[in-house]
Amino acid sequence: MTYLFNNPTKFADELIEGYVAAHRNQLRLVEGGVIRSHKAKPGQVVLVIGGGSGHYPAFGGFVGQGLAHGAALGNVFAAPSAQQICNVAQAVDAGGGILFCYGNYAGDVLNFNQAQERLRAMGIEVRTVVITDDIASAPLTEKNKRRGIAGTLPVFKAAAVAADTEKSLDEVFRIATDANDRVRTLGVAFSGCTLPGANKPLFEVATGMMEVGMGIHGEPGLYRINAPTADGLAEMLVNKLLAEIPSAILNPDAARIGIILNGLGTVKYEELFVVYRQVDRLLFERGLTIVQPVVGELITSFDMAGLSLTLFWINDELEQTWIAAADTPAFYRSNIAYTNIGTLEASSHRNKRSLETGSTNSQSAAAIVFLALKVASKVIRDLCKIHDSI
């Protein structure tokens, strides 16, 4: 449950105010959301994302260098209004057009579309990419109905890098669309989440059970099963995601992928690493090349106990957007190039040391020391017995 709040109806406003206060060097507060503290280059495309509060780091946590230029932030689990979205978009507009990018939820689609119409009426060029990575929410034949969850990050990043390298709005739209077509996510939960002021969670899962494919706003999952071990969960997630490989991937067994293992709120980092250990092994066994995986919290659901796995099937162009540097309050990626990194096998080999047999004198000395320690140990035990009998 949520322990710290004042008036639940003001929770979103207060958390945003505190968030910006904690990151004044990177962010500015505007009516309806947050924007980068540094303006975009004149004439370039800008990326505006958004969604409901309660999912931090999404969405405000992804505003900053290398990621979004602004984020419209709604109330808890509620879409930002069209006016909020317009306010954020106008605050970051640099004259090169705006790309809206957000998860596929009815309220977000409605309000972002209204904002798009208003901005176009003002003479501002706007395009939209709606993210649809959640394989549990609709079949592949109806991919346009799927929700957007942790797979939002690779799409945001692809769009942002393209925008900041001064590509045209058409190119930014193309790259973000390609990223969305190549990302797949599946989530599980062991408990629901409780909103500020509420006295029970949005849904409940019996102890020892796990819900598969639930939504981040408390939407029901596909089914419930007995909770597996960490390795069992990794195997289930990997198998289900590998059952739906994007059509653009011609040789799946030699592909390159970005990975996100995302905690939904109360599954701790240590647990995530136990799961990732097996995810890494399984994908390596399939011949896949893993590119800069991310393990942590990227899109949460308050205190929900759960996680999701995302596979991002990259090509040369998208690999560059995925590995590009970023510096936001919630996501940091260095541009330092590491060299001379040994393989696991090479590292293990270097750490092995052969033991040499000591000289005759050293072996004799060791035998004397060993005998002395045995005698000292016996004396100590005898003294303890005498002390206990007094």
Catalytic residue positions, numbered = 217
What is the Cα–Cα distance from 187 to 292, expressed in whole angstroms?
A: 21
Is residue 308 within 8 Å of 186, Cβ to Cβ?
yes
Is residue 71 within 8 Å of 48, Cβ to Cβ?
yes
Is residue 56 within 8 Å of 150, Cβ to Cβ?
no
Question: And the tokens for 84?
Answer: 């909020």
Is residue 317 within 8 Å of 165, Cβ to Cβ?
no
- Picking from 64, 78, 111, the residue whose alpha carbon sits closest to that of residue 9 is 78
Is residue 293 within 8 Å of 257, Cβ to Cβ?
no
DSSP 242-297: HTS--TT-S-GGG-EEEEEEEE-BSS-HHHHHHHHHHHHHHHHHTTPEE-S-EEE-
Question: And the tokens for 129?
Answer: 């990419």
